[in-house]
Amino acid sequence: YGDCAIVPDPTAEQLADIAISSARTAAQFGIEPRVAMLSYSTGTSGSGSGVEKVRTATELVRQRDPELMVEGPIQYDAAVDPTVAAAKMPDSEVAGRATVLIFPDLNTGNNTYKAVQRSAGAVAIGPVLQGLNKPVNDLSRGALVEDIVNTVAITAIQAQGE
């Protein structure tokens, strides 16, 4: 998930940077990056300034990293559920199989990651800060012991990759 902790209302350019950095981080951990640029709209089903920002960010990602698999705007359900993806974006190489999910703003990202962690019992690692010269990561004030241990482990792995 990106960005869940740093930029409150990223521009399209910042969203593109977040997507590319997050894809690189996923690849560093052996995850094939398939990036979903999340929105309340999938494809051309909706409009509005938020949708346009995500659409522009997606195009910027495609220009900056043509080899990266990226789709957007796309709703969360279409990004992660193959059945929904087949109905909403049947020709997408990302829809239904996204491994990197980019939220349009901090409000959405932060609340989603905390909701998933607490409701589904998912493991939360990070926030993992990207684009810095050395590995630096952060913890939520509500971090559990398991979250702290996992974040320390991730930071150590990042440091070894340098």
**129, 30 in Cβ contact below 8 A?**
no
Same domain, 142 and 76: no
Q: How far apart are CA 36 and CA 99, in angstroms?
A: 8
pTM of the model: 0.88
pLDDT value, residue 122? 82
Residues 50-64, mean pLDDT to the nearest whole number: 98
Q: Do 13 and 60 belong together in one domain?
A: yes
Predicted confidence band at 59 (pLDDT cuts at 50, 70, 90)? very high
The total of structural domains in the chain comes to 2
112 and 141 fall within a common domain: no
Can you give the residue range of the structural domain that contains 91? 1-122
Distance CA 6, CA 129 (A): 8
* pLDDT at position 21 over 70: yes
What is the 3-state secondary structure of the chain?
CECCCCCCCCCHHHHHHHHHHHHHHHHHCCCCCEEEEECCCCCCCCCCHHHHHHHHHHHHHHHHCCCCEEEEEECHHHHHCHHHHHHHCCCCCCCCCCCEEECCCHHHHHHHHHHHHHHHCCCCCCCECCCCCCCCECCCCCCCHHHHHHHHHHHHHHHHCC
Per-residue pLDDT tens over the stretch 78-112: 999 999 999 999 999 999 999 999 999 999 999 99
Residue positions counted in the chain: 162
- Asked if residue 111 and residue 131 are part of one domain, the reply reads no
- Residue 100 maps to which CATH number? 3.40.50.10750
The Cα-based distances of 60 to 43, 54, 65 in angstroms read 16, 10, 8
